[in-house]
Amino acid sequence: GQNIDQPTEMTATEGAIVQINCTYQTSGFNGLFWYQQHAGEAPTFLSYNVLDGLEEKGRFSSFLSRSKGYSYLLLKELQMKDSASYLCAVSDMNAGNMLTFGGGTRLMVKP
Amino acid sequence: ETGVTQTPRHLVMGMTNKKSLKCEQHLGHNAMYWYKQSAKKPLELMFVYNFKEQTENNSVPSRFSPECPNSSHLFLHLHTLQPEDSALYLCASSQSPRGHGDTQYFGPGTRLTVL
C-alpha cells in the first residue's frame, strides 16, 4: 500500500513564498506529480518529478528526494489566484503506474 | 480548456433513479479514468480503461457501472445510489499508464447529490 501525507491547510501572504511538503511511502516509486485544484474545478497538472532535485517552472518549483520519500512544491511571488488546493500524487509501478493522491493542501493567500 | 469534458456538471437524483455520467476527451489519449472526490478525503480511483479494456476496478460497488465504447468516451452508469455516494466525480485521461511519466488530465467533474 501507499501512504501520502501533506498538511491540510496553509496560509500565506500575497507576494511571499510558500513551501508545501509531501511525504510518501511506496514500494515501486515511479514519479511524483503535483496538481492545483481551485474550488469546484478540475485538478490541473503542475509538475512531475522522477529524479532527485529541483524542477523550476516559472513561479512554481518542485523538489524530490527519493531516499527520504519527500517532495515539496515551492510557490514564489504569491498571488491571490494561487489560493487553491494542491494535490500530491505518487505513481507506483507495482500498481500499474496508477496514481495515489494525498488529501491535498488548501492554500489561502491573504492580502 | 476543452481537453476533457464532462456532462452533466451537476446532478441531483433520488436513490431509486438511474442516471449516467458522460466523459469525452479530445486529446488523442488511450487511457481514461473515473475518480471520486468526497469532502475532506483524497481522490479515490474507481475505474481505469486502457485501450478500451478495463484494467482497474478498485472494489467499487456494483451500483456504479462503467462503460468505455471507444478511447474517447467514458460513461459511468448509476443506479440505486446511496446518500454517501454524493461527491464530485472526476474523469481523467492520459496517453497510457504503461508510459513513463504518464500525466493525467482531468475534466471539470460532475457534482452528484443523492437524496
Task: Mark yes or no for CB contact B100/A30 under 8 Å.
Answer: yes
Q: Encode pLDDT of B9-45 as tens digits.
A: 999 998 888 999 999 999 999 999 999 999 878 999 9
Q: Per-block average pLDDT, block size 10, for chain A (111 residues)?
A: 88 97 93 95 94 95 97 98 97 88 96 95
Strand partners, A98: A92
Task: Mark yes or no for CB contact A43/B106 under 8 Å.
Answer: yes
Name the residue facing A101 among B43, B101, B107 (closest C-beta). B43
Tell me the chain A residues in contact with residue B104 when contact means C-beta distances shorter than 8 Å: 33, 45, 99
* pLDDT the model gives residue B97: 80
* pLDDT the model gives residue A2: 64
**Is the pLDDT assigned to residue B2 strictly greater than 70?**
no
**Is the pLDDT assigned to residue B99 strictly greater than 90?**
no
Which residues make Cβ contacts (< 8 Å) with residue B98, sequence separation at least 6? A97, B50
A25, A111 contact by CB (below 8 A): no
pLDDT, chain A, mean:
94
Task: Mark yes or no for CB contact B43/A50 under 8 Å.
Answer: no
Which residues make Cβ contacts (< 8 Å) with residue A70, sequence separation at least 6? A21, A22, A23, A24, A64
Which residues make Cβ contacts (< 8 Å) with residue B62, sequence separation at least 6? none
B19, B81 contact by CB (below 8 A): no
